[in-house]
Structures are given as structure tokens and as C-alpha cells.
Amino acid sequence: MEGTWGGDIPPRDGDIVYVPAGQTLLVDVNTPSLLSILVEGKILVLDGIDLEITTGSILIRKGTLTIGTYHNPRQNGLTISLTGSIRDP
């Protein structure tokens, strides 16, 4: 996610990450402990290293979260930890 932010400050613990329609977020580093991730665009989890995504919730609205494909399955480990409550979307 370092290169994705275009020089802006990457998210920190407790932040909300919003991926608007038309934007693709390439996840290539472990995330901090985020409050939530809202996806209206695309998130692509890159392969090559083991990764951890920690967030209260992930809400995908007309967007996509791609972790691998049938023809190109993910080869490295990925841990997604959802830390929110049952009342979160």
C-alpha cells in the first residue's frame, strides 16, 4: 500500500480506508489495525509475500476485492483479521 498513496500519508491505526469507484488499491504491505475498509473501486492483494490485513470490517459496494484467481491462485499466505463487532456492516 506504500506506493498506492501517491506521496500521501499511508493509513494509521484506527483509520478508515475508502477506495472510490475508478480507483485500484494495490495491497503489498501489512495494514495497520484499521477501523474499516469501504470498497467501491477495486482492491488487488498482490502475491509474493505473506500479508496481514487487520480491520474492523470490509464493506464492498459495487467494487471488488481480488486475492487470487482460478487461473492464478495466491501462492503466499494471507491473514484477514476482522476485529469489529457483530453490529458492524
Domain count, the chain: 1
pLDDT score at 49: 93
Q: Per residue in 8-22, is it b (16+ CB within 10 Å) or e — as a string?
A: eeebeeebebebeee
The pLDDT tens digits of the residues spanning 59-87 come to 999 999 999 989 999 999 999 999 998 88
pTM of the full structure = 0.87
- 87 assigned to some structural domain: no
Q: Is the pLDDT of residue 56 over 90?
A: yes
Q: Give the span between the Cα atoms of 61 and 71, in whole angstroms.
A: 25
Within-domain flag for 64: yes
- Spatial distance between the Cα atoms of 61 and 45, rounded to a whole number of angstroms: 18
Question: Domain containing 61: what range?
Answer: 3-82
Query: Could you tell me if residue 57 is inside a domain?
Result: yes
Reported as a single tens digit per residue, the pLDDT across 1-48 is 445 665 678 899 999 999 999 999 999 889 999 999 999 999 999 999
* 88 falls within a domain: no
